[in-house]
Amino acid sequence: MQVFERTTECGLINEQNLDKRVCITGWVHRRRDHGGLIFIDLRDRSGLMQLVFNPDFSKGVHENAHKLRSEYVIAVCGTVVERSTETVNTELSTGKWELQVDELIILNSAKMLPFNLEDANVVDEELRLKYRYLDLRRPEMHKKFALRHQVIFAMREFLNSEQFYEIETPILTKNTPEGAREFLVPSRMHPGSFYALPQSPQLYKQILMSAGMEKYFQVARCFRDEDLRADRQPEFTQLDLEMSFIKEADVINIIERLFTYLFKKVFGKELKTPFKHLTFDEAFAQYGSDKPDLRFGLDIHDATSLFKDTELKFLRAVVDKGGKIGALHARSHDFSHTELNKWVDKAQKLGAKGLLWIHIKDENKIVSPVSKFLPEDFFARAQKVFPTIARGSVLFLVAGQYKPVWEVLGRLRLALAQEMKLIAKGEFNFAWITDFPLLEFDAKEKRWNSMHHPFTAPQHGWENKEPEDVKARAYDMILNGIELGGGSIRIHDRQTQEKVFDLLGLSKEQVQQKFGFLLEAQELGFPPHGGIALGLDRLLMLMTNSSSIREVIAFPKTARGYDVMMEAPTSVDTEKLRDYGLKLLPQVKD
């Protein structure tokens, strides 16, 4: 057995190593056999280094190098020499040098890979996930995970400097109602009873405040057994925190300072604080969403007044029924007639019943499928609603009930912005959405649900309001149109908590059974407190400019919630189920 000691790393080789002997290890990244000379790009975590095997220099080693193939794991020693000027690679940090190899040890061979690492961006994602270790070997992926590490490390550094304690909370727990369905875990010791995996550490972190911990955080794993939508994962990571004796502004302030620290540390970038604040009602009225992308304008306008005496039947019907006409005003973009008609189909795909476009060719020339129904002074009237209307402007109108119409316009706004290339790349646009409604009505179940969760404190004076008018002491943080997370000031007294449970239609027995411990704690010296949780995977997706959160999770599940590498979940035989007191029902096919 040859003795080998690694003296440096591929990507660290520099001027100082010139003419010196070094020993490095890694994977064969690329191999070029130039008749006599064999060139290998050797890759380790730190980068690439070019190796040269020269028969004139070391015959035996050169012969051995013929065996090398992609992804062989090798150790080499040799002398660092300068490359000839024509062969300098300016894209590599080590591109000025090469290693004249005099010793080669093959640590392990590799069969032909199921996909070429350089093609990973075009191969089927399931294949990448099945061989995730190969996929993760790629320098591009290494960069993402290095950044993930730096981000989490910087968060810990900052929160530590702010006297937060990092405290772990149980994974095997009881369900906390946060709107999603939970995973259940049977246990041999408790046949017939189940643990639930936490949707978040919500109740534990509140209880930690009762325990006097005052400032808690956790890089917490959360589990939700949801029907998976495009970019959801059954398990994901949050930066979860909670503080005592604070108000909304304190949580907002600590998070802004945390992000300022983080972006400076990781990107050397100065974030502008305070971040923009919008109330839920403002955000919805302007952008048709509670997580608007604020990197561009294209606000929604209420154009109902413009059509109050219209003869157009379908608009008339909407106005008469107390509905609304919402509009987007697109400027400085050349839309052809055909394109405008295509937007009608697109709007329908986004959920609109119809879309009406009005193209202002100039003040006196207005083109629209309904132009003959528009009043002669339409331009002058429109100026009142759209002050910047001008030649070339296009109005996109949707009519109906306020909420659904504004939601559609919100989606249309995003689609138009993409088409019109209004979204600046490389920008991080943070904002806070505040003053959320406490409750939302579930029309199907005919009952009120918490918009955030049932532990969120209502705003002052709520007892005298109708449920739909009660606002919560809740806030969401958004980044580039994505909800990074949210939190709230919590209820800390039993009376308020019981009233909220009552509004949610929970019976005394249900409350006692589910939350008895919380109500009891609220009577044993519970301090006022509040907190927030931020989705780390989403944040990292945005920070690394990745197309999905799966790109920044080391071992994500597929869109169907399947771990293709481990092949989980997997069936369990009857025998084993019996240990848990379980029996499977016949599968129902849908």
Per-residue contact string for residues 196-215; x = within reach of ligand ASP by CB under 6 A: ----x-x-------------
Smallest gap from Cβ 495 to ligand ASP, in A, equals 21
Q: Does residue 368 touch ligand ASP according to CB under 6 A?
A: no
Which residues in the 5-64 window bind ligand ASP by CB under 6 A? none
Residue 372 CA from chain centroid, whole number: 47
Q: Which residue has the tokens 């643990």?
A: 195
**Nearest-CB residue for ligand ASP:** 200
Supply the minimum distance, in Å, between the C-beta of residue 491 and ligand ASP. Answer: 12
CA distance 328 to 187: 56
Q: Which stretch binds ligand ASP (CB under 6 A): 109-117, 301-309, 461-469, 527-535?
A: 527-535
Helix ranges (DSSP H) in 41-192: 59-65, 125-130, 132-136, 139-161
**Residue among 71 and 240 whose Cβ is closer to ligand ASP:** 240
Number of residues that bind ligand ASP (CB under 6 A): 9
Q: Minimal CA–CA distance to 415: which of 342, 514, 337, 494? A: 342
Q: Does 243 bind ligand ASP (CB under 6 A)?
A: no
Choose between 386 and 455: whose C-beta lies nearer to ligand ASP.
455
CB of 211 to ligand ASP, least distance (A): 17
Q: Binding mask 158-197 vs ligand ASP (x if CB under 6 A, - otherwise)? A: --------------------x-------------------
Answer whether 276's CB lies under 8 Å from 294's CB.
yes
* Selected range binding ligand ASP among 56-64, 132-140, 254-262, 530-538, rule: CB under 6 A: 530-538
Q: List residues bridging with 103 in a β-sheet.
A: 77
Residue 387 CA to chain centroid, in angstroms?
36
Give the range of 303-311, 361-369, 423-431, 481-489 binding ligand ASP by CB under 6 A.
481-489
Nearest to residue 327, comparing CAs of 388, 403, 410?
410
Nearer to ligand ASP, 209 or 374 (CB): 209
Q: Annotate each residue in 482-511 with x if it binds ligand ASP (CB under 6 A) or - if it does not, as one string.
A: ----xxx-----------------------
Interacting residues with ligand ASP between 91 and 150 (CB under 6 A): none
Assigned token pair, 263 = 């972006």
**Smaller CB separation from ligand ASP, 129 or 239:** 239
The beta strand positions in 20-87, using DSSP E, are 21-34, 37-44, 47-53, 73-82
Which residues are CB-neighbours of 508 under 8 A, at least 6 positions away? none
Candidate residues 288, 410, 531, 556; the one interacting with ligand ASP per rule CB under 6 A: 531
Q: Which of 422, 437, 426, 394 is nearest to 542 (CA)?
A: 426
Stretch that binds ligand ASP, among 302-310, 513-521, 526-534, 554-562 (CB under 6 A): 526-534
Q: Which is nearer to ligand ASP, 8 or 169 (CB)?
A: 169
Please tell me whether residue 532 binds ligand ASP under the rule CB under 6 A: yes
To ligand ASP, the closest distance from the beta carbon of 154 in angstroms equals 20
Longest CA–CA span in the chain (Å) reads 94
Q: What is the CA radius of gyration of the chain?
A: 30
Neighbour tally for 469: CB within 10 Å: 11
Q: At CA 300, angle to CA 294 and CA 303, rounded to 5?
A: 165
Q: Which two tokens stand for residue 214?
A: 């005052």
H or E segment and range at residue 216: strand 215-223
Of 35-43, 376-384, 430-438, 529-537, the window that binds ligand ASP (rule: CB under 6 A) is 529-537
Strand residue runs (E) in 426-524: 430-434, 439-442, 447-450, 474-479, 482-489
| Interface residue list for ligand ASP (CB under 6 A) | 178, 200, 202, 486-488, 531-533
